[in-house]
Structure 1
Amino acid sequence: MAKLILTHEVTGLGTAGDVVEVKNGYARNYLLPRGFALTWTKGGEKQVESIKAARAAREHASVEAAQTQAAALTAKPVKLAVKAGESGRLFGTVKVADIAAAVEAAGLGTIDKRKVELPAHIKSTGSYTAIVRLHDDVSATIVLDVVAAK
């Protein structure tokens, strides 16, 4: 078992700043190469505090503010215009940064791209859903209308 400090939120494992124990292969082959975690050391405890402070600065101040934004996000679909071919197939995929920019352009507030989860890659036009974690206790499911850009 490997003891790690998470630097990003990993679904099903923990949030940034958490100290977790995972199997060696999961740490070596997934978490460490992608930069989701650092190996735990005694000096790493200082890093844990700075990671938690940075995470707290990015989060909403209260659960009520997060719930208000979640209600706004779920109220109407977010339109996302991307380059696509004749058949509706996209040139590339929709990235979480594109979704965060579309939410901000729609006037629904700002969201951190690291808090957006896509269930699958979006490779064609249509209607999709994405989950945005606004707070530890609050998440919102947003509807994305992916259309071809003109």
Structure 2
Amino acid sequence: MKVLLLKDVNGTGKEGDVVEVKDGYGKNFLIGKGLALLATNEVLNKYKAQQRKKAEIEAQEIAEAKELAEKLNSTKLTIKHKVGANGHLIGSVTNKEISEELSTQYGIELDKKAITLKAKIKAEGIFEVDCKLGHGIHATLKVDIIGVQ
């Protein structure tokens, strides 16, 4: 009996493989537990179509991430933060604050979890912030911190 594996199965094969197995093992274990489907032409064609669609979506996401990376690399974000009497920032600038300002000033929606600070920003100046955009694509955003009384 030929089956299309929907998940990796130790000793049998990996997801997407069409393998020959014994009838009992195929019907009772693999198909019964939802690990495989009977490998008919209809099932194989449907699986290939799903894989193509998944690849197209992933390619589109990668293209959008690269476009956003170019935009972020050329962007300089200005954040005004309160300064104490001694001239130092009160508290520190957080990734949440950077995310909100990016949304307000440029209309770029970026989750605060995607923004990585190398160290806490506790002084005025220009800092580089790493932004993870998915699919292994990163961007560097320049953040200019200006103190305000």
What TM-score range do you get, normalising by the shorter chain?
A: 0.5 to 0.7
Instruction: Report the Cα offset of residue 133 of structure 1.
Output: 0.2
In 2, the alpha carbon distance for the partners of 1:65 and 1:86 equals 44
Establish whether residue 104 from structure 1 lines up as the match of residue 103 from structure 2: yes
Q: 1:120 to 1:136 in 2, by over 3 A?
A: same
Q: 1:108 to 1:87 in 2, by over 3 A?
A: farther
SS of the equivalent of 1:93 reads coil
Give the 5 Å matches for 1:107-118.
107-118=106-117
Larger gyration radius, structure 1 or structure 2: 2
SS of the equivalent of 1:140 reads strand
Q: 2:136 corresponds to which residue?
A: 137
Q: 1:72 to 1:82 in 2, by over 3 A?
A: same
In angstroms, what is the RMSD of aligned CA positions?
Answer: 2.1
Q: Which stretches in structure 2 are left out of the alignment for 5+ residues?
A: 1-59
Establish whether residue 71 from structure 1 lines up as the match of residue 70 from structure 2: yes
SS of the equivalent of 1:99 reads helix
Which amino acid in the other structure matches residue 140 of structure 1? A
TM-score (norm 1): 0.56
Which amino acid in the other structure matches residue 117 of structure 2? L
Q: 2:90 corresponds to which residue?
A: 91
Greater per-residue helix proportion: 2
In 2, the alpha carbon distance for the partners of 1:67 and 1:90 equals 34
Q: For 1:129-149, what per-residue CA distance to the aligned partner results, in whole angstroms no more than 9, with x for missing partners? A: 110001122110101000013
Aligned residues: 92
Q: 1:127 to 1:87 in 2, by over 3 A?
A: farther
Could you tell me whether the CA contact under 8 Å between 1:131 and 1:142 is conserved in 2? yes
4+ residue runs of structure 1 moved beyond 3 angstroms? none
In 2, the alpha carbon distance for the partners of 1:149 and 1:117 equals 24
Instruction: Report the Cα offset of residue 87 of structure 1.
Output: 5.0
Between 1:105-114 and 1:82-91, the stretch displaced more is 82-91
In 1, the alpha carbon distance for the partners of 2:73 and 2:104 equals 16
TM-score (norm 2): 0.56
Could you tell me whether the CA contact under 8 Å between 1:72 and 1:108 is conserved in 2? no
Could you tell me whether the CA contact under 8 Å between 1:78 and 1:142 is conserved in 2? yes
Q: 2:17 corresponds to which residue?
A: none
Instruction: Report the Cα offset of residue 62 of structure 1.
Output: 0.5
